Amino acid sequence: MSKELYIQFYRTMYKIRIFEKRIEEFSLKAEIPGFVHLYIGEEAIATGVCANLTHADYIQSTHRGHGHTIAKGAQVDRMMAELFGKSTGYCKGKGGSMHIADFSVGMLGANGVVGGGYTLAAGAALAEKIRKTNNVSVVFFGDGASNRGTFHEALNMAAVWKLPVVFICENNEWASTTPYLDVTSVQDISVRAVSYSIPGVIVDGNDVMKVYEESGKAIERARKGEGPSIVEMKTYRIKGHYVGDPEMYRTKEEVEKRFDANDPIKRFKDKIISEGVLSENDFKEIQEKVINEIDEAVQFALDSPYPEVEELYNDLYID
């Protein structure tokens, strides 16, 4: 494992964390409008998975998509601007948090429809298969989303056609206000791989190295034309479902206990320090740079203009 990769992983996870914290702040003040779902506590997943991808590969994201977008290589300033509804945002302010996308890096969009991404990801993979490239397509989805019919249709199709697509389950134990086991007939979502004669594996989703390695295997398999897999990342949703969620369905203590024991960023930092690869000072340096970058992104967003009203009719049809 190279030091560069360690640094990259840490920097990406930390960037996501700081990005989300600033978003939370502005969202609570209603300066960021719309529904906002934070990725705090799940940073290792996007980071580890996307480290296996190039910009020629695709991801389909979810309503909780900031982490995926950052990990896939999007710029935080244009992301931030989008979340503020500014014209300099990736979607010119038309999308916002639930519809963030950066096609230039292969990030094909967050999705406000839970389970909306599976079939699109399969389609991108189908395109690459027809074109005989070795690009792959990855779709992130939640435990809750695993009960959508689209899960079944996309997986069956992907399996039958051996499409280069990887299904990454982010099992954070909650679907909004509902514990996933209340509404899900299996403990491990990845068990459902059996229904499609494909591999299904379970991974500690808060261990970025494990995420990287196990998703890497599935991605490699897809790249070689051996078809799809389900990789289930076990994690936990630290924040409310959306910013402003009263969280009447669980106690603060419950959540804090889980986070303290299992913060993926802290865990990774401890590991690197214990391995002697980086020092506290190295971390400080990375952190400062990231904080700086996010501060600049916030400033960029604040300084940017709102779209002109005339923009309303643009981007509807091409012909």
Partner 1 sequence: MREITFSEATLEAMKEEMERDDTIFVMGEDIVRQGGIFGQFKGLPDSFGIERVIDTPISETAIVGAAIGAALVGMRPVADMHFADFMGVCMDEIVNQMAKIRYMFGGQARVPMVIRAPDGLIRSAAAQHSQSIEAWFNNIPGLKVVTPSNPADAKGLLKAAIRSDDPIIYFENKDLFRQTGEVPEDEELLVDIGKAKVVKEGTDVTIVSYSIMMQKALEAAQILESEGYSVEVIDLITLSPFDEETVLESVKKTHRLLIVHEAVKIGGLGGEVAAVVAEKALDYLDAPIIRIGAKFTPVPFSPVLEEAYRPKTEDIVEGVEGMFK
Q: Interface with its own copies by CB under 8 A: which residues?
A: 147-153, 155-157, 159-160, 182-186, 191-192, 194-198
Residue ranges in 166-225 that form contacts with partner 1 under rule CB under 8 A: 175-178, 182-184
CA 316 to chain centre: 27
Site membership for ligand TPP, residue 232 (CB under 6 A): no
| Residue number, 118 or 174, with CB nearest to Mg ion | 174
For the CB of residue 69, give the shortest distance to its own copies in the complex, in Å.
Answer: 27
Site for Mg ion in 115-144 (CB under 5 A): 142-144
CA-to-CA distance for 208 and 45, rounded, in angstroms? 7
Compare residues 105 and 218 and give the one whose CB is closer to its own copies: 218
Query: In the numeric block, which tokens belong to residue 29?
Result: 């003040």
Indicate the residue among 185 and 281 with the shorter CB distance to partner 1.
185
Q: How many of the chain's residues bind partner 1 (CB under 8 A)?
A: 78
Binding status of residue 147 toward Mg ion by CB under 5 A = no
Nearer Cβ to Mg ion, position 116 or 144?
144
Q: Which of residues 250-309 bind ligand TPP (CB under 6 A)?
A: none
The site string for partner 1 over 29-48 (x = CB under 8 A, - otherwise) reads ----xxx-------------
Identify which of residues 188 and 282 has a Cβ nearer to ligand TPP in the complex: 188
Residues 6+ away with beta carbon under 8 Å from 27: 36, 243, 244
What lies within 8 Å, CB to CB, of 258 at 6+ separation is 236, 238
Q: Quick check: 69 binds Mg ion (CB under 5 A)? A: no
Residues 162-191 that bind ligand TPP (CB under 6 A): 170, 172, 174-176
Tell whether residue 154 is a contact of ligand TPP (CB under 6 A).
Answer: no
Give the nearest distance from C-beta 120 to its own copies in angstroms: 15
Shortest reach from residue 144's CB to Mg ion, in Å: 5
Q: Which does 217 bind (CB under 5 to 8 A by kind): partner 1, its own copies, ligand TPP, none?
A: none
Least distance from C-beta 175 to partner 1, angstroms? Answer: 6
What are the residues binding ligand TPP (CB under 6 A)? Answer: 63-64, 112-115, 142-145, 170, 172, 174-176, 237, 241
What are the residues binding Mg ion (CB under 5 A)? Answer: 142-144, 172, 174-175
